Chain A
Amino acid sequence: MTAELKKERPMGRIVTITSGKGGVGKTTSSAAIGAALAKRGLKTVVIDFDVGLRNLDMIMGCERRVVFDFINVIQGDAKLKQALIRDKRLDTLYVLPTSQTRDKDSLTLEGVEAVLEELRGEFDYILCDSPAGIERGAQLAMHFADEAVVVTNPEVSSVRDSDRVLGLLNSRTKRAETEGAEPVKAQVLLTRYDAARVGKGEMMTVEDVLEILAVPLLGIVPESQAVLKASNVGMPVVLDAPSAAGAAYEDAVSRLLGEEVEMRLAGERRPGIFQRLFGRGA
């Protein structure tokens, strides 16, 4: 029976990477989390929802191979399998690029739903890389989410925007609108965390941010030179040379998969004794 056959297909989990504020590391995180999931043998697709400002393709290094895109598929101009780009390094990793020439109105709720449903039958994880802001594109990126990763910098405007996004996840998503459904499981991914500046009292601590946002912590990604280097060459940071940021994303993905992993700042210099003694009070 087809119903039974369908059960054997993966029932993909939709995870939206969002933040409200721009430039906090959504696309970097989407690429890194996607690659880390794929490394573990989980068939993963990362979808770029930032219509008109395509960038996931560059960060994942497949920008020269884009033929059809998400919008072409929604509008029926291409089949999904024609638009999916398979990663050259990991055969379980795919990218669904967005259009560089259309605008956000090309995305429709029905179109997005149809594509996500088709992907659910093929993939273990479907990552939606949200555009910045809280307008249509961002809302569509989060609408069908099972889980959300709210990328946050320890900085006032980012934390404020994350709080706003958490509110939307709890009110404007399919799960929120469906009676009896589990709410979207939202977790914070703290990025560009600088332990030295935290030590000096110049940056909010992890605890500060979590106290304000009151959602679980998925991981702490330290400010790392490896991130720019990896983006220069189009390599998700977890596939590039070992780095503190890469290790942090690997840990975050372990937690996403339900493993218990101690929160640590891999490979970062601990703040000096003076900073630790006098930093915070200064």
Chain B
Amino acid sequence: MRLGSLWPRKASTAQTAKERLQILLAHERAGRVADNLPALQRDIIEVIGRHLKIDSEAIDIRMEQGRDYSSLEINIEFPAASEPKAPSRR
């Protein structure tokens, strides 16, 4: 019998601590996602840059690591298409 089952655990802060560690350590042990992100960012900028003119600073990468899945959110801002002197073809 597991000792833990003697004391039914509510949503204690200790339980929260354990879960946070489990999720974090699973990610840390599994691989080195974080190490590859700068390279990933460079590649994304390069690939998109082949097709669209983007500013390398206008890329925003966010991550949210979860127990079942993680999400990587990549936002790229385009400069407003309002070049005042550009010839317009109305």
A residues apposed to B, CB below 8 Å: 58, 63-69, 72, 77-79, 82, 99-101, 228-229, 231-234
Q: Determine whether the beta carbon of A66 is less than 8 Å from that of B34.
A: yes
Residues of B within 8 A of A67 (CB): 34, 37, 61-63
Bound Cα distance A232, B16 (Å)? 6
CB distance from A27 to the nearest CB of B (A): 15
Task: Give how many A-B residue pairs fall within 8 Å (CB-CB).
Answer: 56
- The answer to whether B28 has its CB under 8 Å from any CB of chain A is yes
**Complex: how many Å from CA A99 to CA B33?**
12
A101–B35 contact, CB under 8 A?
yes
Beyond contacts A58-B20, A77-B38, A232-B14: 13 other A-B pairs, Cβ-Cβ < 8 A, are A63-B20, A64-B24, A64-B65, A67-B62, A68-B38, A69-B34, A72-B38, A78-B41, A82-B59, A82-B61, A232-B13, A232-B17, A233-B16
- A residues near B61, Cβ cutoff 8 Å: 67-68, 82
Specify which of B14, B20, B28, B34 is in contact with A234 (CB 8 Å cutoff).
B20
Q: Which of B14, B38, B65 has the most CB of A within 10 A?
A: B38
Closest to B56 in A: A79
Question: Closest chain A residue to B70 by CB distance?
Answer: A64
* CB-based contact B23/A64 at 8 Å: yes
Docked CA distance A99–B20 (Å): 19
